[in-house]
Chain A
Amino acid sequence: MKNQKIPVTILTGFLGSGKTTLLNRILSENHGKKIAVIENEFGEVGVDNELVIGADEEIFEMNNGCICCTVRGDLIRILTRLTKRKDKLDMILVETTGMANPAPVAQTFWVDNDLKEQFSLDAIITIVDAKHINLHIKDSDECKEQIAFADIVILNKIDLVTETEVAQIQKDIRSMNALCEIHKTENTNIDLSKILDVNAFDLEKKIEINPKFGEEEFPYEAIVKYKLEKGTYTLFLEEGPDPSMDIFVTPFRNIETQKHEATVAFSNEAHSISDTQEIKINKLNRLDTSEVSQSFEFVNEEDTVLFFTQHGPEEFNMQLKQDKQTIQPIDIIEIEHSHTHDDEVSSVGIESKKPLDMQKFNLWMGMLLQRNGQDIFRSKGILYFKNYEDRIVFQGVHMLFDAIPDRKWTNNEVKRNQLIFIGRNLDRESIINGFNNCLA
């Protein structure tokens, strides 16, 4: 008499993005599944074999007004009602209003134990209107949050924009949400098997889809490598797009290791350096570029040095000179930088093969979510704890989270931790350091 949980798909997206078109397709397509659709308008009608229920979104604060635990009261009521049926439904689709914050919908499944027993959150799908996304993304927190919350993004109306624009939007979406699947569509024309009953919360599957999971995003745009003699040099910069440019100069050893060190340096406080002042080695220097041109002294004691520059050196026409002779760099490495639109909402991925100490991790995670839960929209991961045979699957929405044993690690798989945080103004360095402190 065991229950098979009914998958629930949540559909978000701004007005006009194509939600209704997709819903109508789902309802009219011959997929042989009995689906209940919970729409955001009141009044329900039966459509053949389907049940369409109108809902008036009611967002309730729990615990006498605790704003961090908002849930959708109407959803609880309707889903509870749908459990009282002789024939079980195959799936449930919840449509939210265009401006809806997806958090209360998702939190409903964390907060309500009775619903958790009967339903499983299959996926949060966000439909993005490729033609108008740039308008929304600038003005609307809800739009960013809808993308940040998504397991699947349907990038719709791609026929109305150029291929270059589509590529840019994809990049922007990816910069906010490193783990979501992105499907490009015209008129929301998509194979339904790609979006319904897909178990999008299966993190392992998602990591395979996005091989860049856990990759670090760098706070600088270029690494300029110089082979130099010992002596004094002058770094010339012209006026650029910003009134200052951060620069980190360090002796060359191993570029891959030093990329990470530079990331750490960029998270530290920068030393402000004005025209003619000296650049400090192994420190973050904030060079004043407010004049038409300026120069900075650099005393070199090394053989080869790396200049990690916040912006591309060409944007400031950066030149290193000694005795009026321009020194040509031996290499310029451009760092792919996807934060074109919005670096407010982003993802932090962590991957480590070292086991975690459960007690330390629980303490850290509890504190992190308590302190920054409002800004961490979603967190999820697979955890590898010392002295535990099972993999632990971790899922969270804002401050609410669940960590449950999944299955035993198999002999031929690499035990590892994989975690991702998606949210606003995430402090990558602090999160990574916090995690590293939990390693056993």
Chain B
Amino acid sequence: MYSEIGVKNLIRDSKDNCNWEHALCGYILTIYTIPNTEYIWVVTSEKNVYLLHTENGKIIHAFENIAELIFTSVKQPNTQELFLATNNGIFALNTEGKIKHILKENNWFEHLAFSLDGKVLFVAKGKTLYLFEQENEEYCLVKQDSSFNSTISDIIFKHGSFLVANYGGIREYKPNDAYNYSLFEWKTSLLLTSWSTDKKYIATATQENAVHFWTYPFIENNDFQISGFENKITKMLWNKDASLFIVNSGEDIDLWDFSDGPPTGKQPINLRCGNGKICDIYFDENLLIAASENGFIYFFLPDESNRLVQICAIEEKISCIAVNEDETELLVGSSSGKIYSFDIAI
């Protein structure tokens, strides 16, 4: 815990290392770097999306008043277009500044995910799942599935399948067969979904501050749970060989050892951060960055026994972070709409 003066000094020192900052309009929900370009997407939760120049934060395109509420976004894997799920349907934005209204409906569209080749798009609105297929660069609605008995809480695409979560379980769909699915059942409110990099485990954060796991392929009574977290898990990451499972837990980061299978009876490696709940984590084999809601950013080196090497801070509540492809730049978004760029020099 820092003293008041300590925090002020840290913020002042961090400012000196800040490349640029820019005040945008809206709570910053997500920042995406765009590989092989000098641009970044900045998505706010209300109305606006921005395309910024990564070098100086200059606005290239401001997409304003798109929708009252923006829930989630995803990049089209081939074109880097940004697709938005909003309270007014689905939008696609491109780096040329054009907006396309893929689906227009005044309702809460909360989740969306692309197949790896970008040809199939799954979208969720309440208890309804929409499936779009790409034909001649247009996305056409091919199926609408209203068989869910509760609101869909997450969609991801990984290992050639879509995973769709809602209360009571996760459905696995193959992109070429939206009519059949496998069900991974657990009767509780399932929130965020993740699939281990080695494909062995499907994990879902639950309402009860726990993570529920199923082994893949599904084996009956083989599911297990890690519980007792301080808050609902909002970040779940795996390292390349799935030997580590990384989550935010209150003011800390927990690293669970999956190298010998489920970590039954094991304690996690606990990276203590402090100064507010951890709201976002970036992880690569060489670098782990965690941001706390209260404006602190922690840099750890995983290959040096998770040594804490740097802390910086901003005078804002952090909402998200992003790191560019070569891990030289950290972008920090805040709940009041400010975005900061820092050099990563470790």
Contact = CB atoms under 8 A, between A and B. Distances in A.
A260 B45 CA distance: 61
Contacts of A74: 151
A241 B205 CA distance: 60
Interface in B223-280: 230-232, 276
Nearest to B293: A1
B87 interface: yes
Contacts, number: 79
A86 B25 contact: yes
B57 interface: no
Interface stretch (A6-14, A19-27, A59-67, A137-145): A59-67
A76 interface: yes
B188 A63 contact: yes
Given A56-B126, A85-B27, A113-B209, A76 B189 contact: yes
Given A64-B188, A73-B167, 11 more contacts: A1-B295, A45-B106, A60-B207, A63-B188, A65-B187, A65-B188, A73-B207, A76-B189, A77-B151, A84-B335, A86-B27
Contacts of A63: 188, 208
Contact of B108 (A44, A64, A86): A44
A86 B334 CA distance: 9
Contacts of B126: 42, 56
A166 interface: no
A231 interface: no
Given A1-B294, A42-B126, A62-B188, A85 B46 contact: yes
A114 B188 contact: no
A61 B190 CA distance: 12
Nearest to B108: A44
B207 A76 contact: yes
A81 B208 CA distance: 18
A211 interface: no
- Pairs A-B, 4 closest by C-beta atoms: A84-B45, A86-B27, A65-B187, A60-B189
Interface in B11-26: 25-26
Interface in B65-88: 68-69, 71, 87
B150 A58 contact: yes
Interface string A67-95: 00001011011000100111000000000
A87 to B, nearest CB: 8
A112 interface: yes
A274 B108 CA distance: 70
A165 B186 CA distance: 51
A56 B152 CA distance: 12
Contact of B45 (A51, A76, A85): A85
A46 interface: yes
A64 B207 contact: no
B29 interface: yes
Contacts of B127: 56
A45 B207 CA distance: 28
A43 interface: yes
A257 to B, nearest CB: 50
A386 B107 CA distance: 55
B175 interface: no
Interface in B98-119: 106-108
B107 A42 contact: yes
A86 B150 contact: no
Contact of B29 (A56, A65, A84): A84
Contact of B336 (A56, A58, A86, A111): A86
B68 A46 contact: yes
Interface of B is mostly: loop
Contact of A86 (B46, B69, B107): B46
Contact of B232 (A43, A44, A84, A114): A114
Nearest to A44: B87
11 contacts: A42-B107, A44-B106, A56-B151, A58-B167, A60-B189, A64-B187, A73-B189, A81-B71, A84-B27, A85-B46, A113-B230
Given A74-B151, A77-B151, A62 B27 contact: no
A84 B188 contact: no
Interface in B156-174: 167
A60 B150 contact: yes
B89 interface: no
B196 interface: no
Interface in A387-438: none
B151 A112 contact: no
Contacts of A84: 27, 29, 45, 319, 335
A104 to B, nearest CB: 12
A46 B167 CA distance: 29
A65 B127 CA distance: 20
A289 to B, nearest CB: 54
Given A42-B107, A84-B319, A71 B151 contact: no
Contacts of B337: 86
A51 B108 CA distance: 13
B54 interface: no
Given A42-B126, A58-B167, A81-B69, A1 B188 contact: no
Contacts of A51: 68
B27 A61 contact: no
Nearest to A84: B45
Contacts of B230: 113
A112 B232 CA distance: 9
Interface in B162-217: 167, 186-189, 207-209
Contacts of A85: 27, 45-46
A388 to B, nearest CB: 26
Contacts of A56: 126-127, 151
Contacts of A113: 209, 230-232
Interface in A300-347: none
B153 interface: yes
A42 B108 CA distance: 9
Contacts of A61: 187-188
Contacts of B186: 64
Contacts of B336: 86
Contacts of A77: 151, 153
A84 B110 CA distance: 14
A333 B186 CA distance: 61
Contacts of B294: 1
Contact of A112 (B29, B45, B207, B335): B207
A42 B146 CA distance: 15
B167 A62 contact: no
A60 B209 contact: no
A73 B27 contact: no
A350 B336 CA distance: 47
Interface string B324-339: 0000000000011100
Contacts of B26: 86
Contacts of A86: 25-27, 44-46, 335-337
Contacts of B69: 81
Contacts of B45: 81, 84-86
Nearest to B210: A63
